[in-house]
Structures are given as C-alpha cells and as structure tokens.
Amino acid sequence: MARVLMVAFDGAQTLDVTGPSEVFATASRLSGRALYRVEVVTVGGGLIATSSGLRLSTRALEGV
C-alpha cells in the first residue's frame, strides 16, 4: 500500500486538502482493495482550521 502525505497548514482551503484525499480514496474503492493510505500532516501536528473554519486533525510532519 502506498503512503500519501497531504501537507496542510492553518488557513488552507478545505478543497485543497480533502479533494486530493478523495481521489486516492476513490481509486482504492474502485479497485476493491486498499491502494493508498492518506495522512494529513502539518509541521507541528494537531488541529488546524481551514479557511472555511473546518478543523482538521493532523499528524506531525517531523514524525512521519
């Protein structure tokens, strides 16, 4: 399974993070097997707020 890191930041546009994540998730769904493991990461990890106010939980980039 390929590991995909979505690097995000406070104030990022939601679609810029979730859109590509959905593409990888859809590829796995259509293939019928887990092809990708998508992780949202930031420099310090923890919660960030997107430009729309949606909060995302992230992992620390340093630990991946």
Q: What does each C-alpha distance from 21 to 10, 39 come to in angstroms?
A: 17, 9
What integer pLDDT is reported at residue 62 of this predicted model? Answer: 83
What integer pLDDT is reported at residue 58 of this predicted model? Answer: 97
What integer pLDDT is reported at residue 63 of this predicted model? Answer: 66
For residue 48, the surrounding DSSP H or E stretch is strand 46-49
Centroid of chain to Cα 25: 11
CA separation for the pair 51, 54 (Å, rounded): 7
pLDDT tens over the chain, length 64 residues: 999 999 999 999 999 999 999 999 999 999 999 999 999 999 999 999 999 999 999 999 986 7
CA separation for the pair 62, 35 (Å, rounded): 24
